[in-house]
Amino acid sequence: MKFDLKRYQKILSYGQRQMKILAMTALSLGLTMNVSFAAGDVAKAELDQELSQMIGGTGTRVPGLGVIVFRDGKEVYSNFQGKAVIDEQQPSKSKPFARDSRFRIASVSKMFTVFTVMQLAEQGKLDLDADVSKYLGFELRNSNYQQQPITIRMLASHTSSLRDDKIYSIPPEMSLQEFFKPTGKFYVNGGHFAPKGEEPGKFFKYCNLNYGVLGTVIEKVTGERFDLYQKKHILKQLDIHADYVPGNFSRKEFAKLGTVYQKKDAAGKWDENGPWRGTQDEYKDGQPKANTIALQNPYKEDYQMTYSLKGYVPGTNATAFSPAGGLRISCEELSHALEMLLNNGSYRGKQVLSPESVQAMFKREWIYDEAKKNGSNYGGTVLSYGLGIYQMDGNSTARFSRDGKIDLAGHTGEAFGLLSMLAIRPGTKDGFVYIMNGEAVEEDEDDRSAGKFSNNYIWEETVGDAICRNVFAH
């Protein structure tokens, strides 16, 4: 009997069960085969097929996506499909979605802000439980809880009692106090403070402004502009060349920047059969000027002008840099942060964070209590929160695995049509990152956007469950 080695090698990629059967066959034939049954074995063909079905221009398909998966601390799978940049007038100028394609990553950015907060705490420059007023240089208090200090820990865990309202990024020349003082331009009748009954430290409500305040604290403590400090420290230590200011990329790195898309026109009307419209980082006229920043407020899109950063004074208002969601980063670069978290703060020989800091980020600072109604759980998608990280337990409505057997912790990003995630399996060295750069139908308003087995969006469910079944279940 002749053993067809080429056919054997081709079949290897179809899954662990087939591998074991074929290896047994090889042994029965007296052949010596170097076959690995490591936990990293994946059902690659099945996962490839499921992800390829997500690419398209209508319904719940997306223009492009990227996925990287780690098992037992090592990368075992990656896939990049579709377009990072779409030019329907001149298709030759379109760009494929690649491993190094960068996008405005939305709320996964919050992790990177907390990485810096934890580093500064390790250095003794920040106290997580100190009154944030100590660092800001002005008293920050919710007028409904005037005696209750707001701390760094409360800001990072969204229990500070601050609220976004519709604007949470303001021009760099303005002071952060414009949100909080009664005479401030953006005070909106106290709309950036929670009402009575939502006490600081006890009540959870997701708020991007928390991270604008954290970014300003980072500036106060370091004396450097938020984006520049991030690049010199956290990002550099992780071998990441990302940026918060698109105009400050080198020409080579700017060329890797992709666009975020939606299927709605300038008037806000959705049409899934219409053309893709760039909502973020569509630079048809070339790279923007260095040291200029465009404000980003997803809930008030008419308030997104571009401002010069010349003369900006660090420590006055870091909201312009969007510490909550403005990092432009690739799947490859996100995987460096994933690797660091999977290795208790160590990245390729460098101790970026202490193991204690990583553990503190994953610790549940707030847990939803149905009896007390102690926070907004967003339809069951956020049931507990740590420091820049939240938990998606496999037995909850926040889960990403249909069968409910896989727990995850990390952060998702959802803004302007982009969907992203960095997550690990607690207690293991397994994890993944993904980025999708567009939506053809509207979140929440279109029934097709709803998940089928959880309260996550269908896009998130589809990718997350495909990874869990085809990698972690093997």
Mean predicted confidence (pLDDT) in 362-384: 97
275 backbone dihedrals φ, ψ, rounded to 5°: -75, 155
The CA-based dihedral angle spanning residues 453, 325, 306, 266, taken in that order and rounded to the nearest 10 degrees:
0
Strand boundaries in 163-315, DSSP class E: 260-262, 277-280, 292-294, 306-308
Question: How crowded is residue 50: how many other Cβ atoms within 10 Å of its Cβ?
Answer: 18
Q: Quick one: pLDDT band at residue 41, thresholds 50, 70, 90? A: low
Sequence-distant (6+) residues with CB within 8 A of 177 are 138, 184
Provide the 3-class DSSP secondary structure of residue 217: helix
Range scoring the smallest mean pLDDT among 115-124, 211-220, 299-308: 299-308
Question: How crowded is residue 90: how many other Cβ atoms within 10 Å of its Cβ?
Answer: 7
Q: Quick one: pLDDT band at residue 302, thresholds 50, 70, 90? A: low
CA–CA dist 64, 321 (Å, integer): 26
- Torsion-angle region of 377 (φ positive above 0: left; ψ -120 to 50: alpha; else: beta): alpha
Instruction: Note whether 424 and 342 are within 8 A (CB).
Output: yes
Q: Which two tokens stand for residue 436?
A: 């999708």
Percent of the chain with pLDDT over 70: 90
pLDDT of residue 141: 98
Instruction: Note whether 75 and 69 are within 8 A (CB).
Output: yes
Rounded to the nearest 10 degrees, the angle between the axes of helix 209-222 and helix 109-122 is 40
CA-based Rg of the chain, rounded to a whole angstrom? 23
pLDDT of residue 305: 85
pLDDT at 4 over 60: no
Q: Quick one: pLDDT band at residue 301, thresholds 50, 70, 90? A: low
102 backbone dihedrals φ, ψ, rounded to 5°: -105, 150
What separation, in Å, do the N-terminal and C-terminal C-alpha atoms of the chain show?
Answer: 31
pLDDT in tens, 336-352: 999 999 999 999 999 99
Strand boundaries in 322-468, DSSP class E: 328-330, 346-347, 350-351, 366-367, 384-385, 390-392, 408-415, 418-424, 431-436, 438-439
pLDDT at 69 over 60: yes
Q: Quick one: pLDDT band at residue 265, thresholds 50, 70, 90? A: confident
pLDDT of residue 15: 40
Provide the 3-class DSSP secondary structure of residue 143: helix
Strand boundaries in 203-305, DSSP class E: 260-262, 277-280, 292-294
Residue where the block lists tokens 């003082």: 181
Specify the DSSP element, H or E, that contains 210: helix 209-222
pLDDT at 26 over 90: no
CA–CA dist 163, 206 (Å, integer): 8
Q: Quick one: pLDDT band at residue 316, thresholds 50, 70, 90? A: very high
Residue 351: strand pairing partners: 346
Mean predicted confidence (pLDDT) in 54-65: 98
* CA dihedral sign, ordered 270, 272, 278, 284: negative
Distances in Å between the alpha carbon of 302 and those of 130, 172, 185, 406? 37, 17, 17, 41
Q: Quick one: pLDDT band at residue 28, thresholds 50, 70, 90? A: very low
Distances in Å between the alpha carbon of 471 and those of 38, 75, 92, 340, 438? 12, 11, 35, 20, 25
CA–CA dist 220, 120 (Å, integer): 12
Q: Quick one: pLDDT band at residue 364, thresholds 50, 70, 90? A: very high
Domain locations in the chain as residue ranges? 5-37, 49-472
pLDDT of residue 39: 40
Range scoring the smallest mean pLDDT among 70-79, 140-149, 293-302: 293-302
When comparing pLDDT for 474 and 303, which is higher?
Answer: 474
Percent of the chain with pLDDT over 90: 87
Mean predicted confidence (pLDDT) in 280-297: 93
Q: Within 13 Å and on the Cβ side, how many CA atoms surround 227?
A: 27
pLDDT in tens, 79-112: 999 999 999 999 999 999 999 999 999 999 999 9
CA–CA dist 35, 12 (Å, integer): 9
CA–CA dist 279, 260 (Å, integer): 6
pLDDT at 467 over 50: yes
CA 16 to chain CA centroid, Å, is: 31
Structural domain 49-472, CATH architecture:
3-Layer(aba) Sandwich (3.40)
Residue where the block lists tokens 């308003």: 445
Residue 292: strand pairing partners: 308
Specify the DSSP element, H or E, that contains 76: strand 74-85
pLDDT at 402 over 50: yes
pLDDT at 19 over 50: no
Among 51, 53, 49, which Cα is nearest to 66's? Answer: 51
pLDDT of residue 300: 64
Distances in Å between the alpha carbon of 88 and those of 63, 258, 450? 12, 15, 29
pLDDT in tens, 227-253: 999 999 999 999 999 999 999 999 999
Q: What is the DSSP string of 290-328?
A: TTEEE---TT-TT---EEE-TT--TTS-GGGG-TTT--E
CA 273 to chain CA centroid, Å, is: 28
pLDDT at 12 over 60: no
pLDDT at 38 over 50: no
Provide the residue count of the chain.
474
pLDDT in tens, 377-401: 999 999 999 999 999 999 999 999 9
Q: Quick one: pLDDT band at residue 468, thresholds 50, 70, 90? A: very high
Supply the mean pLDDT for the chain. 91
pLDDT of residue 84: 98
